[in-house]
Amino acid sequence: MTRIGEHAVVLGGSLAGLAEAAVLAQRFARVTIVERDGLSQTGQHRKGVPQGKHVHVLLPSGLHSLAQLFPGIREDLRERGAHLFDARALRFNIAGGSLLLEDSDAQHLAATRPLLEGIACERVRSLNNVRFAEGCEACGLTTTPDRSRVTGVRLRSGRGRGADEAVEADLVVDATGRGSRSLRWLAALGYPVPSEEQIHIGVHYTTRLFGRSPATSGDWQNVTVDIPPGERRGAVALAVEGDKWIVTLVGILGERPPTDLGGFVEYARTLWTRDVHAVVADAEAIGEASTGAFPANVRRRYDRLRRFPGRYVVTGDAACSLNPVYAQGMSVAFAEALTLAQVLDRHGLDRVGPRFFRQTKRITEVAWSMATGADLAHPGVDGPRTARWRLLNAYIGRVFGVGHRDPVVAEAALKVLGMVSPPQHLMHPRIAWRVLRGGRERGRPVPDGAAVPDPSAR
């Protein structure tokens, strides 16, 4: 790679920051990752990742991007116990039935967040030009006298002792997540702050680990129960390393899944299909429950700003934070890291921020439209429901319904949900014809109370 500059600083050491550091290490002589928390050993949870104890599914598009960022990481993950599975191992319950999924070359990744993040961190630590500044946080930006260009950051020790330290950099990337201070820093420098869009969904979730026995669970790796419009309860069960199930019960619009084991199992029983209940009813619970919350989808429109300081980029959840139920966040962050690499290779550091925001607009727009469009299907969610949205929502509902009995439509839907294909793929004449005619009479919706079947019996 052509060297772009001497030093780049990445603020935030979670997956988005690690992905950015991986591409910057190929283009800068030195990279520093600033992380307020100490980074844990692989397999251990850390305080700075509040979602880390809950289900994480890496979508096919995200797995493809991850493999580009870290060649060979699929094998590393598999050797450490992660599961790579295709559609045949996915039980996707939505719109009153289960998608009829057959062969597909689109793989998902099932692993706990500490395993995935830990292996990515090991890869970045192995790069001899990357340094981790742990126990530090950025408290401001440094700029040229006319404030037209960022020249570095001011760092403060986590202990809060002593004076701030100014660290020079040719490029600064903010990957600090929802708590990003970029809005405050931009305002302090005299720049306009981006407008903000929000769709409140009020998600609460409770997660538990269970022992997993292949004798009772068959080959299923993932069981998803979507939340129907008008309802407030859903769930996801994922097979992860160590012969375990990680099961997250989801409530929206203020619904809170219980933490006690008896209440957890009963909550799973009340879902519109009993697939997740079949996983937890007789399995051995491991450890205590963990809880989490997600108030709202938030998108900060950096792409609309006409003035922005040079050599500064905001990425990941710091720019667009999406309902974690749809598992889009990691895939978006990895795609953004690859996009930054393309921008730097084509244009160097010239207007890197605006160019990056313009190039990533399509990525975030697709994910935002899918996540908020699905959330707006719930009557209790406030937000704009345009005529276009109503038409598309009705069509998507029919896609899922036909997908219960037509594997071609089901695979098309899964590729869109997995961010492999754009939503327009569902409008292709070959798919639209099957949707509008109702699909072939094959398969049937999952009856209420059905247990997880053994795929080998098909």
Q: What residue type is assigned to position 304 of the chain? A: R
**Which pLDDT score, from 0 to 100, does residue 58 have?**
94
**pLDDT in the model for residue 221:** 87
How does pLDDT run across 221-263, given as a tens digit for each residue?
A: 899 999 999 999 999 999 999 999 999 999 999 899 999 999 9
Structural domain contains residue 415: yes
Residue 164: which pLDDT band, with cuts at 50, 70 and 90? confident
Residue 399, phi then psi, degrees to nearest 5: -55, -50
What is the average pLDDT across 445-457? Answer: 40
Residues 18 and 132 in one domain: yes
Please tell me the predicted confidence (pLDDT) of residue 453: 37
* pLDDT at 146 > cutoff 60: yes
Q: How confident is the model at residue 449 (pLDDT cuts 50, 70, 90)?
A: very low
* C-alpha closest to that of 401 among 455, 370, 443, 454: 443
Q: What would the pLDDT profile of 394-409 be if each residue is shown by its tens digit?
A: 999 999 999 999 999 9
**Residues 394, 396, 397, 403: is their CA dihedral positive or negative?**
positive
| Residue 329 belongs to some domain of the structure | yes
CA atoms of 426 and 332, how far apart (whole Å):
21
Please check whether residues 269 and 351 belong to one and the same domain: no
Residues 208 and 281 in one domain: yes
Q: What CATH number should be reported for the domain holding residue 240? A: 3.30.9.90
User: Closest Cα partner for 374 from 432, 427, 416, 337?
Assistant: 416
State the Cα–Cα distance between residues 235 and 266, nearest whole angstrom.
Answer: 13
Residue 158, pLDDT score: 67
Are residues 332 and 365 in contact, defined by beta-carbon separation less than 8 angstroms? Answer: no
Say what the pLDDT of residue 43 is: 59
284 phi, psi to nearest 5 deg: -80, 125
- Examine residue 456 and state whether it is found in any structural domain, yes or no: no
Query: With bands split at pLDDT 50, 70 and 90, how would you rate the model's confidence at 39?
Result: low
Are 270 and 399 within one domain?
A: no
Residues sharing a CB contact under 8 Å with residue 333, sequence separation 6 or more, in sequence order: 15, 16, 19, 175, 315, 316, 317
Please check whether residue 318 lies inside any domain of the structure. yes
In percent, how much of the chain has pLDDT > 70?
Answer: 90
Which range is most confident: 26-40, 41-55, 430-444? 26-40
Asked if 191 and 184 touch (Cβ cutoff 8 Å), the reply is no
pLDDT band at 1; cut points 50, 70, 90:
low
Residues 133 and 181 in one domain: yes
pTM over cut 0.85 = yes
Q: For 14-87, where are the alpha helices, taking DSSP H only? A: 15-24, 60-69, 73-79
| Domain-embedded: residue 356 | yes
Question: Residue 372's CB: how many other CB atoms inside 10 A?
Answer: 24
Residue 272 pLDDT exceeds 90? yes
Whether 122 maps to a domain, the answer reads yes
CA distance linking residue 392 with residue 390, whole number of Å: 6
131 plus 241 within the same structural domain = no
Quote the pLDDT of residue 218: 64
Among 139-153, 162-176, 442-456, name the most confident range. 139-153
If DSSP codes are grouped into helix, strand and coil, which group holds residue 73?
helix
CA distance 274 to 272: 7
Residue recorded with tokens 């569902």:
426
Rounded (5°) CA angle 33-34-37: 120
The encoded tokens of residue 137 equal 């946080």
Amino acid letter, residue 315: T
Percent of the chain with pLDDT over 90: 82
Mean pLDDT within 266-276: 96
Of 273, 295, 317, the last residue of a domain is 295
Q: Please indicate, yes or no, whether residues 264 and 353 belong to a single structural domain of this protein.
A: no
Separation CA 218–CA 226 (nearest Å):
21
SS3 442: coil
Among residues 295, 327, 356, the one where a domain terminates is 295
| pLDDT exceeds cutoff 50 at 443 | no
Task: Please tell me whether residues 232 and 366 are part of one structural domain.
Answer: no
Q: To 5 degrees, how large is the angle CA 228–CA 230–CA 231?
A: 60
126 and 42, same domain (yes or no): yes
- Mean pLDDT for the chain? 90
Residue 336 has pLDDT above 90, yes or no: yes
Return the axis-axis angle of helices 352-375 and 387-403, rounded to nearest 10°: 70
> Bridge partners of 236?
224, 248
Using left for φ > 0, alpha for ψ between -120 and 50, and beta otherwise, residue 326 falls in alpha
**456 is written with which tokens?**
């080998």
Cβ atoms of 292 and 207 closer than 8 Å: yes
In this predicted structure, what is the pLDDT of residue 373? 95
Higher local confidence (pLDDT), 219 or 384: 384
> Within this chain, do residues 151 and 240 fall inside the same structural domain, yes or no?
no
Q: What is the CATH number of the domain that holds 343?
A: 3.50.50.60
Per-residue pLDDT tens digits for 116-136: 999 999 999 999 999 999 889
What SS3 state is found at 406?
A: coil
Which residues make beta-bridge pairs with 209?
A: 246, 286
pLDDT score, position 41: 64
Q: What pLDDT is recorded for position 455?
A: 34
For residue 139, the model assigns a pLDDT of: 93
**Residue 62, number of CB atoms within 10 A of its CB:** 25
| Last residue within a domain, chosen from 263, 295, 327 | 295
Is 62 part of a structural domain of the chain?
no
pLDDT at 369 > cutoff 80: yes
pLDDT-based confidence at 322, cuts 50/70/90?
very high
Q: Both 150 and 261 in a single domain?
A: no
Domain that holds residue 428: 387-437
3-state SS class at 99: coil
For residue 162, what pLDDT is reported? 59
Distance CA 284, CA 216 (A): 12
Query: pLDDT value at position 50?
Result: 67
The domain tally of the chain equals 3
pLDDT of residue 295: 96
Q: What is the mean pLDDT of residues 65-81?
A: 95
Q: DSSP letter string over 305-341?
A: -S---BTEEE-GGGTEE--GGG--HHHHHHHHHHHHH
Q: Is the pLDDT of residue 454 over 90?
A: no
How far apart, in whole angstroms, are the C-alpha atoms of residue 84 and residue 68?
Answer: 16
Q: Give residue 70's Cα distance to chain centre.
A: 18
Asked if residue 157 and residue 35 are part of one domain, the reply reads yes
- The CA R_g of the chain, rounded to the nearest whole Å, is 22
Q: Does 219 have pLDDT greater than 60?
A: yes
**Could you tell me if residue 152 is inside a domain?**
yes
With 90 as the cut, is the pLDDT of residue 192 above it? Answer: yes
- Give the pLDDT of residue 448: 43
Residue 442, pLDDT above cutoff 80: no
Instruction: Measure the CA–CA gap between 105 and 200, rounded to whole angstroms.
Output: 35
